[in-house]
A and B are shown apart, each in its own frame.
Chain A
Amino acid sequence: MKRTTLLLLLSMFMIVLYSQNENENSNPNKNANKLYFGIETGFRTFNSLSHEYAFIREEASYYYGYGNYYSKITWMSYAPFVSLKAEYRSLSDKFWVSAGVNYSSFHSLMGRSGNSQNQTDYFYIMLSQSQNESYYYRIKEIKETNHYIGVPIDIRYSPFLPRFFRLYFKLGFDFNLKVAAKQSVGFYQSEMNKHEDAILDLFDQPNSFYATSTLGVGIQLGKQNKPNFRIEADFPSLVLTPKAFGLMEYSFGGGARISFVLPLNIK
């Protein structure tokens, strides 16, 4: 039984290979360019999860009906990037594999935005405490900006034969090394800026490396062997490295990107 199954699978594999070979031979574009060069830019944003910071005073401003609802500090993130990539196309121009170099910056912001006139737009952080004294500071926002140089690796697959308008799917990874980082505190009273370093010392520092994996879908405009333009949506982007960022934790997100690709040997 096992042998029969194995033979059946082997036969199917041979048929697929043969059919593929036939397709490539019958493809009028079999001499299509296989190497492309592209520039890509876009942004991603991630859902933000606060670390458990015991030194941030809780807030509960929402009350209606019969319950209390904690007001949350607002957490925001966005990560613009630009990449230069080389791309290799194979298997009847259906698989596109690309790699290159990537610059990205990762911006994180935590703050409290008052959504009405009688809400405060700050939160309290306890900087120090002794048995009989505690020191709170009113904070409007805390920012973290990290800069990375990375290597993106993408595999794109289009189930359609070359045409001007092509839908494709993507699986991508990127590996990013931190080259610079900056955190800053926006105090409610600017006179308190003298405590900025002490406040920042309370927070975790970002690690030097983070990686993500991304699924995406996009459309490519342009003829084969000609410059192509792509617009692509990323979702989900999964952060593969826990505790990579200082202010907060990210798990998944999404984004959008556009790219311009040129065949390296135009025929």
Chain B
Amino acid sequence: MKKLLFVLFIVFALSCTKQTDLSDSIYIYDNEYPELPAYSEWGYNTFGANYDRSVFMYSRNEIPLKVTLKENRLAFIFQGGDGNYSNNYLALRFIIPDSNVKVYQDLLVYNDSIIDLTSETITVEMISKGNSEIIDILEGELYFKRSQNVFVDDVEQEIILSGYFNLKFVMNEIPSNMSEGRFDFGVNNQNFYNLK
């Protein structure tokens, strides 16, 4: 009877699956760090990093990346959770001065570029449980290894940003470490906001 219920549950779960499209998140686990998504450049809409003894990961409930543009300051907001499969909302906002990006297609200029997070012009905020706090970066970088324009059926569809990140920081006088961070995002008008 238990087996039957299990099979029925599987069938039910499969029948409730989300639509799989470019906007969905596709988790391909990393062989070396199975709790993190493998590095990819397909626009799988995932990110993850070791966060002390836990992980900072994308979650199914949040759009993993939002990009905002306001007064020549570009913000990359990584939205996910603290810990695998948790509902503890956690986000990092990397705010970068940029006067060149006007539309999401302009993000191509970030191809193979490294943002030094210790720079005074860079602000990093951590957002959790509705609270936003600027964190002191001890060391860290945001590396856009690849920025590419994706065409689907010969129609321009989105920009894919892929790369790595890591940072050591202090928050509430407690130092923490995020390492082995990797991301693979698709950006288009759905998650690019010009706040003006």
Contact = CB atoms under 8 A, between A and B. Distances in A.
B15 interface: yes
Given A132-B147, A138-B153, A119 B28 contact: no
Contacts of B60: 63
A51 B35 CA distance: 26
B119 to A, nearest CB: 25
B150 A136 contact: yes
Interface stretch (B17-25, B64-72, B163-171): B17-25
A199 to B, nearest CB: 12
Given A57-B42, A58-B42, A132 B149 contact: yes
Given A137-B152, A192-B154, A60 B27 contact: yes
A61 B60 CA distance: 12
B33 interface: no
A11 B157 CA distance: 82
B153 A120 contact: no
A240 B160 CA distance: 43
Interface in A104-141: 115-116, 118-120, 124, 126, 129, 131-138
Contacts of B111: 131-132
Contact of B148 (A59, A63, A119, A134): A134
Contact of B44 (A58, A135, A191): A58
A135 B151 contact: yes
Contacts of A58: 26, 28, 42, 44
A57 B42 CA distance: 7
B17 A116 contact: yes
Contacts of B154: 135, 192
A132 B150 CA distance: 8
A26 interface: no
Contacts of A68: 27
A28 interface: no
A134 B27 contact: no
A189 interface: yes
A131 B42 CA distance: 13
Interface residues of A, number: 33
A101 to B, nearest CB: 45
A133 to B, nearest CB: 5
B108 A138 contact: no
Contact of B13 (A57, A62, A133, A137): A62
B14 interface: yes
A187 B151 CA distance: 15
A71 B26 CA distance: 10
Contacts of B44: 58
B14 A124 contact: no
Nearest to A112: B20
A192 B153 contact: yes
Contact of B18 (A61, A135, A188): A61
B149 A116 contact: no
A120 B21 contact: yes
Contacts of B152: 124, 136-138
Nearest to A137: B153
Interface in B50-105: 60, 85
Interface string B129-150: 0000000000000000011111
Interface of A: 57-66, 68, 71, 115-116, 118-120, 124, 126, 129, 131-138, 187-189, 191-192
7 contacts: A58-B44, A62-B13, A63-B17, A118-B18, A129-B148, A131-B148, A135-B150
Nearest first, the 3 A-B pairs at minimum CB distance are A64-B13, A61-B20, A60-B26
Given A62-B13, A116-B15, A129-B148, 20 more contacts: A58-B28, A58-B42, A58-B44, A59-B26, A60-B27, A61-B19, A63-B17, A63-B18, A64-B9, A71-B20, A120-B21, A124-B22, A124-B152, A131-B146, A132-B147, A133-B150, A134-B151, A136-B157, A137-B152, A188-B153
